[in-house]
Amino acid sequence: MNVSGAVVRARGLVKTHGQGQSRVRAVDEVGLEVPQGQTLAVMGPSGCGKSTLLHLLGGLERPTGGEVWMAGRRIDTLSERALARMRRRSVGFVFQAFHLVEELSAAENVELPALLAGCSRRQARRRASLLLEQVGLSGRARHLPSQLSGGQRQRVAVARALANDPLVVLADEPTGNLDTAATLDVLRIFEDLRSAGQTLVIVTHDERVAATADRLVSMRDGMFVDDTWLTGSPTRGLGGLIGLEE
Ligand SMILES: Nc1ncnc2c1ncn2[C@@H]1O[C@H](COP(=O)(O)OP(=O)(O)OP(=O)(O)O)[C@@H](O)[C@H]1O
Ligand SMILES: [Mg+2]
């Protein structure tokens, strides 16, 4: 299979949590490929393994079995140190609960991953200012997270996820805690990112969010049970080569 365009790739991915009676197969033999520029949405009931899958793809958790590849490089076998480096350089996470640093301003929160990825202070500041502008928050750069609304905090979190210019943005319920107006703001940002060719994996319960994707997979009990192309044909000429594994 030609996988030159795959930014994220997983084969036979398994993750079990717990021991004995309480053992759960959170992710159960999942295979996927997300080509450059594709937006993949993952939907499914609570507890079906969506967050676990996202954590495995981004190297936040290690699989019990199977393989994860990022831009052609296998990551599940990396040392902790190399894995952390890969995350800092290549992955942008958007968490459901924002996870902003409360003591830092909006701008400083966004600067942080840029600094960690190796930008100079000046570059990081410039990038944070551009990103805050992109998410419509130029006027809030000096505010602390506690001085922002839920929707504004989530927009800071999206800007932060982009600060290291990641190969892929992994978003876990990015609109989960937001009202309709804030959801639409975040949705617009994801649509802009998609238009700009950003590779995205979005876990969501919201049909409106899923509708912005190129492809939608449904999960049940750790497995993919459905796979739908939303943009008609496989995306950007690569999708024909890309399929779920059995
Ligand atoms: N650290 C853990 N220890 C034990 N079990 C866990 C752990 N993390 C997740 N699980 C279990 O693994 C399964 C999948 O959890 P996961 O958080 O991936 O689900 P999810 O699809 O993201 O759910 P939700 O939509 O509620 O966020 C669940 O049954 C959960 O209880
Ligand atoms: Mg979850």
Q: What tens digit of pLDDT does each residue of 40-54 get?
A: 999 999 999 999 999
Q: Number of folded domains in the chain?
A: 1
Please report whether residue 1 resides in a domain.
no
Tell whether 18 is covered by a domain. yes
CATH number at residue 123: 3.40.50.300
Q: In terms of Cα–Cα distance, which of 197, 225, 228, 222 is closest to 210?
A: 228
Which domain does 29 fall in, by range? 6-245
Asked whether residue 231 is assigned to any structural domain, the reply reads: yes
**Order of strands across the sheet with 39-43?**
91-94, 168-172, 199-203, 39-43, 215-220, 223-229
Cα of 48 to ligand 2 centre, how many Å? 8
Q: What is the pTM (predicted TM-score) of this model? A: 0.92
Residue listed under structure tokens 């779920």: 244
Q: What angle do CA 210, 71, 185 make, to 5 degrees?
A: 30
Give 74-123 pLDDT, tens digit per residue: 999 999 999 999 999 999 999 978 789 999 999 999 999 999 999 999 99
Residue 129 lies in a domain: yes
d(CA 31, CA 8): 10
Distance (angstroms) between ligand 1 centre and the Cα of 17 equals: 8
User: What is the phi/psi pair of residue 189, to 5°?
Assistant: -65, -45
Q: Which residues surround ligand 2, an ion (CB under 5 A)?
A: 51
Residue 241 sits at the vertex; the CA angle it makes with 3 and 201, to the nearest 5 degrees, is 70
Give the number of whichever ligand sits closest to the CA of residue 52.
1
Residue 10 lies in a domain: yes
| Domain membership flag for residue 197 | yes
Q: Is residue 105 part of a domain?
A: yes
Q: To test the ligand 1 pocket, which listed residue (15, 17, 173) has its Cβ within 8 A of the most ligand atoms?
A: 17
Q: Is 168 part of any domain? A: yes
Q: What are phi and psi of 74, to 5 degrees?
A: -75, 130
Question: Does residue 24 have its Cβ closer than 6 Å to ligand 1?
Answer: yes
